Structure 1
Amino acid sequence: MLKRSGAVLAGTILAGCSSAIDNRDSGTTGTKSTSETESVNPNQVTLRKLGQTHPSAQSPPSGGYSEVSVRDDGKYAVVGTKWGVHGTYLVDLTDPATPKQVHYLGNSNDAPNLDVKFDHRNGLYYRAIEKTWDGNFEIVDYGHSAGSPAKPKVVGTISDGKSHNVTPHPTKPVLYTVNYGLETNGFDVYDISDPTAPHKLGQYGPQGACHDISVDSERELLCSAYQSGQFIGFIIYDVSKPRNPSEVGRFDYDTRKSYSTVESGKEAFGRAHHGHFDPRRDLLVIGDERPQGKPGGKHVFDIGWKDGSLSNPIPVGFTLSPNAQHMEGDSYAERFDWTGHHFAIVPWGNVTLLVSADWHEGVVVYDITDPTNPHPIDRYSTDDGMGSLTVNDQVRRLGKPPMAWKAAYNPERDLVVASDTFTGLYTFELTQSG
């Protein structure tokens, strides 16, 4: 069990442990920020809240927040929606302590806009249109040519299939969209040189529910994660030619121990959710998301760090969220609570951290400096202000907050931004106590 002694956390994580990491008070004092060259003691790293906002098209806010993306310069965040809310919010982060809503852009087809991502060209963002029957994605101009931050305009639309998540190439006018269906290839590639006329170039990967894609433009690599279908696990592609990915390696979960066959807390594989490449080391972190039963954990893979390679990824580390426990029942209020969700890797001084929105855990900070021993070191319960909020009935079905969806990191401003389905958008800074 994790034990707290002041700001120090140590120990081994066990499934079913009691509240091991306390919610941090946003008024913590005696902390300082770190620089890239500063020596960091991971046992003294804390997550300090800076600000919070509840973007809304109505008053009072009704919740339903999903994905969040931060522009490269850290000036704006964009927030997606789900569960009875249909639109996207642009938020000004100029002062992280007081994030301000700039616009709400609804969807005339009443479909949720789950995933949202900024293009590398300022003034454009993408939003997935996930409907049960059709829908794919839209391109929103909020200052590129036709729109403005206060008056955005949808300038490009593709209605062909169902995209759960969308990922633009970090430096090229190329968009990757996952095909979240069992009878389609994993993902599509679009040329979006002209945002008003996105053009499909091809489909890639085995048939199945590809869930998410990440791209490392410096290594020219793409990682696609599959949750079900003909293949479960992840595939790595060479994207030195961004419009024509070529597979270089894969890891098949079906050849490994499943969560149903191991004791709680032990490494297992199932429902690969998404992954990120370590910016400084030849490592890949993959998160599993499981709605029921034993919660999914996070794996660290060696893809060249020691004995592994791109063609032969080797799992070297595994961790669960701090209070991970068996998830009983089928109701929405009991699904996903203790499994992992969207995260970001943070190279911070001499350590490497991971910030993750882990549903009922809130935002969790993990130390992955030693890839063979990843473990949680701090946690912030994102349920602030819930007593004064009104949420719609669909959100209420999820139970009680926190239900943190995604944590993103912006290196330009050393800023962590997270979304909670109930309580909105949060801004944090990582600090070192002492």
Structure 2
Amino acid sequence: MLRRSAVALTGTFLAGCAGSPGEDDDDDADGTTTSTRTETVDPGRTTLRKLGQTRPAAQPPPGGGYSETAVRADGEYAVLGTKWGVEGTYLIDLADPASPNAVHSLKSSNDAPNIDVKFDHRDGLYYRTIEKTWPGNFEIVDYGYSAGTPTNPRVVGSVSEGKSHNVTPHPGKPVLYTVNYGLETNGFDVYDVADPTAPRKVGQYGPQGACHDITVDPEREVLCAAFQAGQFIGFVVYDVSDPRNPSEIGRFDYGSRKSYEQASVGEEAFGSAHHGHFDQRRDLLVLGDERPFGVPGGKHVFDVGWRDGSLENPVPVGFTVSPNARRMEEGKRTERFDWTGHHFNIVPWGDATLLVSADWHDGVVVYDVTDPTAPRPVDRYPTADGADAVTPNDSVAALGAPPMAWKASYNPERELVVASDAFTGLYTFELTPRPG
């Protein structure tokens, strides 16, 4: 297992990244790009600037029922999933970020109410979950790898075992991790997908319970699995130096910590572990909690080697909530999820470290986590553009009113933020002012 050395922050909270001002970015082994700029950046002045937007589906259905999105490593394509309908997935051309354009639409069955999407590290393939019973757990879509094209995609592989809410491909190996979002199952399955037409299950790992999401850090060769409910709530860190055989390193159990039921809005609490990412430049892990009602879940920063913590013994050092966080009335469907956190990415930004996050009714939010002990929101964009033209179906309307931002992703290759909103589709942003 590879380990990064901890980078001690100075009093000005410099991220300590290598390189000189203006130096080009370095390509990582997995094909992604890590910023090596060291320009001084004032994160408090960093803002989101909208570039473009698309709502590719006719309505109704799904009337704005968009869900997950992902960006290919080179930043040339995004894929957009849907929820509460049969619209399936869209491949979005990002050649001009100001005019994102749907290249294909690939419908799903009536039994596919939630679709997570991820690109494989091999060009021309993406994954989509089929969370209910037909045709199964996940599908592999060929849009240019062998049998398909961007305008004529083909489902070339599928698995009908179990129920997968989210999937995570290894960034550099033909391995897929699928979460078992059920209380009676172990956390996640591992599939060999070397042959996309014949995915093969090679193992099941984790404590029993509802594993919600997985992230893989290919440089550290570790995996973080977040568990929302069941016998274990919290997260588990695995060594994936052998990607097909994860080995547990450590875990953080929420059970012994203050729960949200015992806390006020904005007070650090633990529950419903949802989604996490490792800081690319420091030995830190950011883990978000998502709660449908009551006190909204926030984002934790864990020391996993930065100072006193480790991968074996993570130590919480910081906590923040969405900028307009407030209690969500129990049982009131239109307040469900409004002010809790959702999917995010970490952004190395000059000498600062930011998060871009889709935080439901708060829209897309930028957080400054340069000082991990005092993370804070610094800007937001309410993703409600064009909402007047949307006629949501009953399932989407139950979320209340837009914005309801689902996921924000950052592409370092093109310094591009791509986000989805359940009502209003896919957005592209840039962060400004740029370093230098």
TM-score (normalizing by structure 1): 0.90
Residue identity (%): 75
Per the alignment, residue 207 of structure 1 pairs with 208
Q: Give the distance between the partners of 1:58 and 1:256, measured in 2 at CA.
A: 45
Say whether residues 1:299 and 2:300 are aligned partners.
Answer: yes
| Aligned twin of 2:236 | 235
- Residue 396 of structure 1 and its aligned partner are, at CA, apart by 1.4
Q: Distance between the aligned counterparts of 1:194 and 1:77, measured in 2?
A: 23
User: Given that residues 57 and 104 in structure 1 are in contact (C-alpha distance below 8 angstroms), is that contact kept between their aligned partners in structure 2?
Assistant: no
Q: For residues 336 and 133 of structure 2, what CA distance do their matches in structure 1 show?
A: 20
Distance 1:93 1:318 in 2: 34
Q: How many residues of Structure 1 are paired with residues of Structure 2 in the alignment?
A: 401
Shift of the alpha carbon at 1:397? 1.8
- Counterpart position of 1:29: none
Q: Any idea what SS the aligned residue of 2:155 has? A: strand
TM normalised by structure 2 equals: 0.89
* Counterparts of 2:70 and 2:313, CA distance in 1: 31
AA matched with 2:188: F
Match of 2:389 in 1: 388
Q: Is the Cα–Cα contact under 8 Å of residues 234 and 272 in structure 2 kept in the other structure? A: yes
Change (3 A) 1:284 1:357: same
Deviations 1:313-352 (A, max 9, x none): 0000000000000000313311100000000000010000
8 Å CA contact 1:354, 1:366 repeated in 2: yes
Kindly indicate whether the alpha-carbon contact (under 8 Å) linking 1:113 and 1:127 is maintained by their aligned counterparts in 2.
no
| Greater shift in the superposed pair: 36-45 or 401-410 | 36-45
Alpha carbons 1:86, 1:112 under 8 Å: kept: no
Offset, 1:62: 1.9
Distance 1:59 1:251, change over 3 A: closer
Superposed CA offset, 1:215-256 (max 9, x none): 000110000000011100000000000000000010000011
Residue of structure 1 in register with 2:15 after alignment: none
Aligned twin of 1:285: 286
Task: Quote the residue 1:167 is aligned against.
Answer: 168
The answer to which of 325-334 and 335-344 deviates more is 325-334
Please say if 1:68 is aligned against 2:69.
yes
Residue 372 (structure 1) aligns with: 373
Give the superposition deviation at 1:114: 1.9
More displaced, 273-282 or 382-391?
Answer: 382-391
**Contact 1:88–1:113 at 8 Å: present in 2 too?**
no
8 Å Cα contact 1:64/1:85 also seen in 2 = no
Residue 99 of structure 1 and its aligned partner are, at CA, apart by 0.2
Pair 1:190–1:141, CA change in 2 (3 A) = same
Superposition deviation, residue 35 in structure 1: 8.5
How far apart are the structure 2 equivalents of 1:357 and 1:109? 27
Bigger mean CA offset, 356-365 vs 51-60? 51-60
Letter in 2 for 1:273: H
In the alignment, is the contact (CA less than 8 A) between 2:382 and 2:403 conserved in 1?
yes
Q: Deviations over 1:199-230 (max 9, x none)?
A: 00010001100000000001100000000111
In 1, Cα distance between the equivalents of 2:337 and 2:61? 27
Contact persistence 2:47–2:433 (CA under 8 A): yes
1:154 corresponds to which residue? 155
Asked if 1:417 corresponds to 2:418, the answer is: yes
Structure 1 residues 49-76: Cα deviation after superposition (integer angstroms, max 9, x where no partner): 0000001156897210000000000000
Q: Corresponding residue for 2:89?
A: 88
Residues 174-323 of structure 1 aligned to structure 2 (within 5 Å): 174-323=175-324
1:334: which partner in 2? 335
Rounded to whole Å, the distance in 2 between the matches of 1:134 and 1:53 is: 28
The 8 Å contact of residues 134 and 162 in structure 1, kept in 2 or not, is answered as no
Inter-partner Cα distance in structure 2 for 1:82 and 1:266:
32
Cα distance in 1 between the residues matched to 2:114 and 2:151: 19
Task: Give the superposition deviation at 1:83.
Answer: 1.7
**Structure 2: distance between partners of 1:140 and 1:57:** 22
Hey, which bits of structure 1, 4+ residues long, moved more than 3 A?
A: 57-61
Distance in 1, matches of 2:403 and 2:186, equals 35
Gaps of 5+ in 2: 1-34
Secondary structure in 1 aligned to 2:433? strand
Which residue does 1:11 correspond to in 2? Answer: none
CA–CA separation in structure 1 for the residues paired with 2:323 and 2:123: 38
In 1, are the aligned partners of 2:183 and 2:208 still within 8 Å (CA)? yes
Q: What secondary structure sits across from 2:229 in the alignment?
A: strand
Distance 2:227 2:109 in 1: 31
The root-mean-square deviation of aligned C-alpha atoms, in Å, is 1.7
Code of the residue aligned with 1:194 in structure 2: it is D
Does the Cα contact within 8 Å between 1:41 and 1:432 map onto a contact in 2? no
SS at match of 1:323: coil
The answer to whether the 8 Å contact 2:82/2:114 transfers is yes
Match of 2:37 in 1: 36
Partner residue, 1:406: 407
Structure 2 CA distance for aligned equivalents of residues 405 and 83 of structure 1: 14
Residue 347 of structure 2 aligns to which amino acid in structure 1? V
1:3 aligns with none
Q: Distance in 1 between matches of 2:262 and 2:268?
A: 10
User: Is 1:51 the equivalent of 2:41?
Assistant: no
1:4-30 Cα offsets, whole Å, 9 max, x none, are: xxxxxxxxxxxxxxxxxxxxxxxxxxx
* Aligned twin of 1:27: none
| CA deviation after TM superposition for structure 1 residue 105, in Å | 0.2
Instruction: Kindly indicate whether the alpha-carbon contact (under 8 Å) linking 2:120 and 2:169 is maintained by their aligned counterparts in 1.
Output: yes
